[in-house]
Amino acid sequence: MSITDPVQLTADLIRCPSVTPNEGGALVLLEKLLSEAGFECTRVDRGGISNLFARWGNQRANKTFGFNGHTDVVPIGDENAWTQAPFGADIIDGVMYGRGATDMKSGVAAYVAAAIDFVQNTPPDGALILTITGDEEADALDGTTALLDYMAEAGEQMSVCLVGEPTCPNVMGEMMKIGRRGSMTAWFEVTGKQGHSAYPHRAKNPLPAMARLMDRLASHELDRGTDHFDASTLAIVTIDTGNPATNVIPAYCRAAVNIRYNDLHSGQSLTEWMQSQADKVSEEFEMPISMKVKVSGESFLTPPGALSNLVAKSVEAETGVKPEFSTSGGTSDARFVKDHCPVVEFGLVGKTMHQVDENVPIEQITQLKNIYTRILTDYFE
């Protein structure tokens, strides 16, 4: 009976210094392991980013379960602030330390180990697809999107997909994601006329115009939430003139806002609303206002149903905790997968992700593998 140790695999992956966008040997390791287990592996590298596609079973299988995750990690920050080696995977008192321990090399290790043992011990009537990217923590332009583009071209199709990101705030099993809020950033620039602060009538001060615009945006109630989403939020994240002098009225003022929005909105609808407010302020103050927008991901929801119930049942069976269906948090690569097939997310407790001394209790890694194994068993039954 094949038994793949997810704890050892997590350690092996942490020791690969795959700080985004560097591959660091992580995908090479996984490709070798999966190939030896009978998976057909294809590197889907694009734009200098390394990605791995792996399939077990017939491409024309009547049902295909997919896992998605990433092996790239954020930078370690100040190495001297770490009490353990950032890429050492040291285990102290049952806790493994290292960058990516939580986000999300343990999640990848758990589902790779579950998938390998499952197909070798109880070959299912169907197929498994694993999509693993090296571009989730950065711009995500050539990661999961490249894998999905490859799948479309190659005729590959997942019936459903589980993303192994950390989803639990404090207790293993307490939360899974059935959707995510949308995320977008807008940058504004008001152009005035520089002048002496003692003679403001000879200048055109852009700051009052920017202050008016920011107030209108921030004080506007976008909504009060929906059945599955909290209320949308808009945060002013910077206002700047680059002006060190107190006797000079600057010519420019720049600001930016970040919006996290639910399924009542789209990036397009919010862009149009912000543009209308900017146009009104521009007219009131007789100053041009430019706006640039980047939509990082649209909101999405996988309505509660067969997939979410399958995952929730498996989580509760292994942990004794019934997970909450949530859409909270930031963005993940599920925002891309949702255009391909139904997708949910479940993974570890994420309290230490991106922190100095990022760590994971090793018992949680084994528990996560058991959860994923139960999901596969119940899905293919």
Q: How far apart are alpha carbons 173 and 125 in whole angstroms? A: 28
Q: Residue 4 above 90 pLDDT?
A: yes
For residue 38, give both structure tokens: 């009978």
Domains belonging to the chain, first-starting first, are 6-180+299-380 (3.40.630.10), 182-297 (3.30.70.360)
Residue 330 pLDDT: 84
The residues with which 185 forms a beta bridge, in sequence order, are: 258, 294
pLDDT tens-digit readout, 182-235: 999 999 999 999 999 999 999 999 999 999 999 999 999 999 999 999 999 999
pLDDT tens-digit map of 93-108: 999 999 999 999 999 9
The pLDDT value given to residue 279: 98
Catalytic residues: 72, 136
Per-residue pLDDT for 366 more than 80? yes
What is the b/e burial string over 317-341, where b = at least 16 CB atoms within 10 angstroms of the residue's CB?
ebbeeebbbbbebebbbbbbbbebb
Residue type, 128: L
pLDDT range class, residue 331, cuts 50, 70, 90: confident
Q: Helix, strand, coil % (nearest 5) of the chain?
A: 35, 25, 40
Whether 268 contacts 142, CB under 8 Å: no
Q: Cα 325–326–329 angle (5° rounding)?
A: 160
**The two structure tokens encoding residue 274:** 């912000």
Alpha carbon distance, N-terminus to C-terminus of the chain: 20
> Are the C-beta atoms of residues 56 and 39 closer than 8 Å to each other?
yes
> Exposed, middle or buried: residue 46 (CB in 10 Å: 0-12, 13-18, 19+)?
middle
- CB distance 334 to 163 below 8 Å: yes
Phi, psi of 259 (to 5 degrees): -120, 130
Q: What is the pLDDT of residues 142-195, one digit of tens each?
A: 999 999 999 999 999 999 999 999 999 999 999 999 999 999 999 999 999 999
Average the pLDDT over 297-304 and give the result.
94
363 pLDDT exceeds 70?
Answer: yes
Which pLDDT tens digit goes with each residue over 31-88?
999 999 999 999 999 999 999 999 999 999 999 999 999 999 999 999 999 999 999 9
Percentage of the chain exceeding pLDDT 70: 100
Q: CA-based diameter of the chain, in Å?
A: 84
User: Which pLDDT score, from 0 to 100, does residue 380 have?
Assistant: 96
Minimal CA–CA distance to 171: which of 318, 314, 69, 319? 319
In angstroms, the CA 311 to CA 376 distance is 10
Identify the helix (H) or strand (E) that includes residue 40.
strand 40-43
Do 53 and 150 touch, CB atoms closer than 8 A?
Answer: yes
- Between CA 245 and CA 263 the distance in angstroms is 44
Would the pLDDT of 1 be above 70? no
Question: What is the overall mean pLDDT for the chain?
Answer: 97
pLDDT band at 337 (very low <50, low <70, confident <90, very high): very high
- Tell me the whole-structure pTM to 2 decimals: 0.90
Specify which residues 133 forms β-bridges with.
51, 70
Neighbours of 227 (CB within 10 A): 9
- The residue that leads in pLDDT, 117 or 139, is 117
Helix crossing, 362-380 with 105-121: angle to 10°? 40
